[in-house]
Structure formats: C-alpha cells, structure tokens
Amino acid sequence: MEFQKKDKIFINGSWVSASTEDTIDVTNSATEEVVATIPACNADDVDKAVSAAKDAFEQWSNLSVETRSSYLTKITEGITARSAELANTIATEVGTPLNLASLVQVGLPTMDFATMPQVLSEFSFEEKISSSLVLKEPVGVVGAITPWNYPLHQICAKVAPALAAGCTVVVKPSVVAPLNAYILTEIIQQAGLPQGVFNMVTGSGTVVGEAIVTHPSVDMVSFTGSTRAGKRIAELASRDIKRVALELGGKSACIILDDVELSRAVASGISMCFLNSGQTCVALTRMLVPRSKLTEVEELAVKEAETYTPGDPFADSTRLGPLVSAQQLLSVRGYIQKGIDEGAKLLTGGTDLPDGIEKGYFVRPTVFSEVSNDMTIAREEIFGPVLSIIPYDSEDDAVAIANDSQYGLSGAVWASDNERAIRVAKRIRTGQLDLNGAMFNPMAPFGGYKQSGYGRELGRYGLEEYLEIKSLQM
C-alpha cells in the first residue's frame, strides 16, 4: 500500500479540513511501517459534525421507509463494488489474513447494510394497543464510537440500523484502523445521502470520543470496545441521561460435553479462539472439557493449534496474522508469561517470536492446559491467540465454571444432540451461544450480559436500539 496522507474529515456532506494540524500515524502491523496519517481532531470538529447531524435529522427522519431503504441498498452496492480494496486495506492496517479479511472483515459489513431493507420491510413503526397508538420513532443524533479489530463491521453494524431507523450519525473510527472508514465514507457520499446525515471525525478516544459522548445534542451513543472504556462512556453519558448501547469484552467458554466426537469440537473451538489472531470479542478462549478426556483433548489441541501458521497477511499459507500493534503484542506476551508464572501447563506456543519472523507484531499460537478458573489467563480478556483448557468433573461443574466470569458475551456448547446442547445453553448467562458448531447468523441479536455490556445489534433487535417509544392515548 502506498503511503496515504488523509488530511480531511467528513462533515455535512463534504470533506473538510480539521481544526488542528495534528496527525496520528497508521501502522502496517505486519511490517511495522507507517502507511498513513489521519487528522487528530478536537472538540470543535465534533461540534461541527454534531450540529450538521442535528440539522439534518428532521428531514432524514421524515423520509419514507422505502426511501431510506433505497439509500441502504446503494451503500450495499458500493461496499460490494469496492470489496477487494476494503479487504486489502483491512489486511494491511489490522493484519487479518487476506482471505479472512474478504470473507469476514468485508462480508459482515456488506450484510449489515444488505439485511436492513428486509428488516424495514417487515417492521411496524406503529402499534394499536386498545385505545392507544404506540409509535416507534428515531432516537435522534447517534454517536458511534468503534474499535479496530473488526473496524468496518463495527461501524456498519451501528450506522446501517441507525440510518434505517431515521437517525443521523457521527462516527469516530478507531485511530488504529481508520482507513477502511474513509472508503466507507466515500461510498456513503456517492450514495447521495442528504447533507449531515452521516459524518465522520477522526481522533483519540479521550478527545474526540469524550466530546461525542458529552455533547448535549448527541441523543445516543453506541460503543464497541473495552469494558474499561465502556464504563467511562456510561459514566459520562449518565450526566445527561443519554441513551447508551455498549458491546464490550468477553471471556467466552466452549463447553465440550462427554458424549461428543472430540476432534471436530476441538478444531472448531481452536478456530473460534484464534479467529483474527484472537482479537475477537466473542473468542472462545476457555475450552471446558471432561477431566477424563483431558489428555486426548490436549493432543488434539496441540496438533490443531500448530496448523495456524503465522506470517504475511497477503500470503496464501498464512492462517494467523500479526496482532494489531506493538502495545497489543506486549500485552499478549505479558498474559502468556503470567500463565506460565501461575502454573498453567504450556502445551504449545509461548512468548517468543514465531520461527522465521523478525519483524511485525506476531505471537505464537498458544495453548495452556490444566488451567484453573481463578488464574489470570482464565479471567481476563487477552485479545490474542491464547487458549486455556479447563477440566471439569460434571455437567453442573462445567456450567458453574462457564458462568464464573465477569463477562457474558458469547459461548459454545458441544453435545451429542441439540436437545442436550440447548438444555445446557439455557443455563449459561451469556448473550449468544453456538451449538455444535452452528454458523453466525447476521439477523440474530448480538450483545452481552454482565460486564460485556447492554443493548443488542443486528437485525430487528439492532434496529430497535435506535428507536424511542411514544404512546398516543386516543
């Protein structure tokens, strides 16, 4: 990728200069080279963007559902037309292997927009309850603050339903992976949305993010990121009783019951732990297995983990890209060392660079066994390709271990039949679970329990997050 100097932000339908000349570097995580700079905006830029969104709200919210759907369809077509460019961009700034970037990093955002017209066609914004007419109306100006791990998807999962609901938006993409947001903004501009409906401001969370959250004309904030940052956003937003949706951390458990064929379950569990180099909020980082089958699971897990070849995201042989930054690499290595120090059994991986790699933020795919659920690696979100295998003694024990977490975002259950899997899944306090390797459903609600946040994204439930309810007594 040639060096890109991004010196504009998008406000009120136009590319404009930021209020400051300060910039932020964007780094290629595989080569450690700076590949771009973006504006480091401030509260003045946020104020201009929010003012534009506020001014545009009445017109946009009063357009017909069919008209808003047509804009969403144009954006879908634009993402599809530039999918190769988007995949290459995300592979560069995040480090996701190119084939996975195409399939997931671009595939999911495409579906975020593509599914909304269908949701709108089936959704009723009015309901008669006896003598009352209940209206569902757009919440207003939405501030969307998004992370770097699935950067385009996390923007689209907020913007698509917000626009569908009739809201206007101000987006702050991650400064670590912002280049894909520039492409999306160009696509939205080309789709011809009215001025001010969509705005994008770049900059740090402490400056731009907090300015969005505290702006009096922002009616709702939707945030995806760390639980620590989510707590800060909830605290700031509470001062104005502002609507907030939070999708935060996870430490999800993959429960493998005693009546399943292990090889498929273990391979699937490893895949869902190492996806995107483990930089996935729903990563299945705790594998719970019957104690009697621990040795067999260990052998299968090592064999499978060692097939995840770290390397250049653009090489066909690569199954594991780099971590996103030097800071993330330092953090993950620290967790691996913590696991060793606390007595977990290291089966494969470790803190050293992978063989043959001298540059880039790479870490070895790592598997620990004989992990107890009170160890740091079993309790804290590592955000790297690190699996903890935890033995259990009974089904009740497995459920108790799975629920013994501050998080409740995702999980998985493997059983000989769906009936048993459903019975166990109903006991797990988490927002979603995959049963026997079932595929992700982009129309099903996504979100968490406990410190994984509140609110739901995707499909009808995602649309409803951006609606207020009004009752007319007649």
Angstrom distance (rounded) from CA 312 to CA 357 = 9
CA distance from start to end of the chain: 62
φ/ψ of 136, rounded to 5, equals: -110, 115
SS3 content of the chain, % helix, strand, coil (to 5): 40, 20, 35
**Cα 444 to the center of its chain, rounded Å:** 15
The 10s digit of each residue's pLDDT in 254-282 is 999 999 999 999 999 999 999 999 999 99
Catalytic option among 93, 167, 247, 304: 247
SS3 259: coil
Token pair listed for 146: 């998004």
Q: What domains are there in the chain, each with its CATH number?
A: 4-248+452-473 (3.40.605.10), 253-442 (3.40.309.10)
Angstrom distance (rounded) from CA 446 to CA 105 = 17
The 10s digit of each residue's pLDDT in 340-372 is 999 999 999 999 999 999 899 999 999 999 999
Question: Does the structure show a pLDDT above 80 at 1?
Answer: no
370 is catalytic: no
Catalytic option among 167, 254, 273, 281: 281
Angstrom distance (rounded) from CA 97 to CA 277 = 9
Mean pLDDT over all residues of the chain?
97
The 10s digit of each residue's pLDDT in 175-217 is 999 999 999 999 999 999 999 999 999 999 999 999 999 999 9
What confidence tier does 411 reach under pLDDT thresholds 50, 70, 90?
very high
156 is catalytic: no
What confidence tier does 249 reach under pLDDT thresholds 50, 70, 90?
very high
* Neighbour tally for 373: CB within 10 Å: 18
